[in-house]
Amino acid sequence: MAGAHALCMIPGPVEFDGDVLAAMSTPATSHVAPAFLETFGRALEKLRVVFAAPSAQPFVFAGSGTLAWDATAANLLEPGDAVLVVNTGIFADWFGECLGVYGGDVTQLRSSGFGDRPALGQIEEALAAKSYKMIVITQVDTSSGVLNDVKTIAALVSRVSPDTLIVVDGVCSVGGEALQQEAWGVDVALTASQKALGVPPGLAVLMVSQRALKRALDRTAKPTAYFVSFKKWHPIMQKYEARQPSYFATPPVQLIMALDTSLTHLVAAQADGAAASRRWEEHVAASATVKDALEAFGLTLVPTHRDHAAHTLTAVYYPEGIDGPALLKAISERGVVVAGGLFPGKAGTYFRIGHMNISATRPDLHHLETTIKAVKEALTSLGYAFPSK
């Protein structure tokens, strides 16, 4: 399998550790078998460590990251509630669209242009102009490769609008970018299994503060969803953590086994449990390796400043005179899969390289070198003139 496998360097699904895949290769197991209660309970405990949210409530659902948007909307919004979305790319538009489906009154706060992010002053002005029930921050927007400064924005919100729930879309960041959910005052951080958590696609993960959980459990408006109801799942998640059998809907048993295994690696990178992770530094270093190499090739990054470029992926423009689809094909012929652009109107002008989980943390696997080499050879094969030093 390894020989024929093309290296998957997209912003999720990422490359998976062999022991994570092996964890899924198990015989049929009851979702209430004692051994599985232990696995699921342990995984929930480890999620709290990874999110640095010791008193928050984890939820793990069968689904993808998008389902975590639905869960946020259905449990925490009532029709007409105002939501401010800090927009750094298309995922913010889509999350906003989802919130609107559940009756959210959504304001998109946009940056000056693609690759930029709204300034702190802009966010402060928006919060002063209107009372918002919720603010949504995409930590890493996968369409632009832009990183938001969640810590600083959350501190601002806590100061000027303390009742506003702070929601972080961490689908392309949790496990890769620095996040200290509880210390930063983030109410909901959500992610999906197939990105920096390093688990095959199929799990939506939410970490919900006690304040947000209370709002969801106290919510009296007519329910707008069934499967993702926190009221339904809260006792189930509590039972799993207590290693007691319970049932609302069947959890994806094998994926949760894989999650538990991957979380073991993530937690091991956190020396004192809830504090900083070595993985964050490893992703910073991996990101610099990729970005430095591409810039040395004469390519231009999509983020307008390095200091707001994500560390989990790199979005980079095609150089002038190089045909995008031809470049992606030439890279894939060299055994590496990267992703095209995603932002409407700009998609044909840039491509994206994901460098998360083992691709960032296991230099011995040489994923970054292999990818950089493939890009270089592909550019050469298309007659690209590299800058002379």
Ligand X SMILES: *Cc1c(COP(=O)(O)O)cnc(C)c1O
Nearer to ligand X, 161 or 287 (CB): 287
Question: Residue 47 interacts with ligand X (CB under 6 A)?
Answer: no
Question: Residue 332 interacts with ligand X (CB under 6 A)?
Answer: no
Nearer to ligand X, 189 or 378 (CB): 189
Nearer to ligand X, 14 or 216 (CB): 14
Q: How many residues bind ligand X (CB under 6 A)?
A: 12
Choice from 7, 9, 10, 12 touching ligand X (CB under 6 A): 12
Choice from 169, 177, 241, 260 touching ligand X (CB under 6 A): 169
Beta bridge partners of 189: 168, 207
Choice from 172, 259, 266, 310 touching ligand X (CB under 6 A): 172
Question: Residue 142 interacts with ligand X (CB under 6 A)?
Answer: yes
Question: Residue 192 interacts with ligand X (CB under 6 A)?
Answer: yes
Q: Pick the closest to residue 366 from 340, 331, 336 (CA basis).
A: 336
Residues in 79-98 that interact with ligand X by CB under 6 A: 91
Contact region with ligand X (CB under 6 A), list: 167-175, 179-187, 251-259, 302-310: 167-175
Q: How far is the CB of 246 from ligand X (least distance, A)?
A: 26
Nearer to ligand X, 185 or 202 (CB): 202
Question: Residue 343 interacts with ligand X (CB under 6 A)?
Answer: no
Residues in 122-141 that interact with ligand X by CB under 6 A: 138, 141
| Residues flagged as binding site for substrate | 352
Residues in Cβ contact with 332 at an 8 Å cutoff, skipping those fewer than 6 apart: 6, 338
Nearer to ligand X, 172 or 255 (CB): 172
Instruction: State the binding string over 257-296 for ligand X (x if CB under 6 A, else -).
Output: ----------------------------------------
Q: How far is the CB of 124 from ligand X (least distance, A)?
A: 24
Omega prior to 13 cis, within 30 of 0: yes
| Site residues (vs ligand X, CB under 6 A) | 12, 64-66, 91, 138, 141-142, 169, 171-172, 192
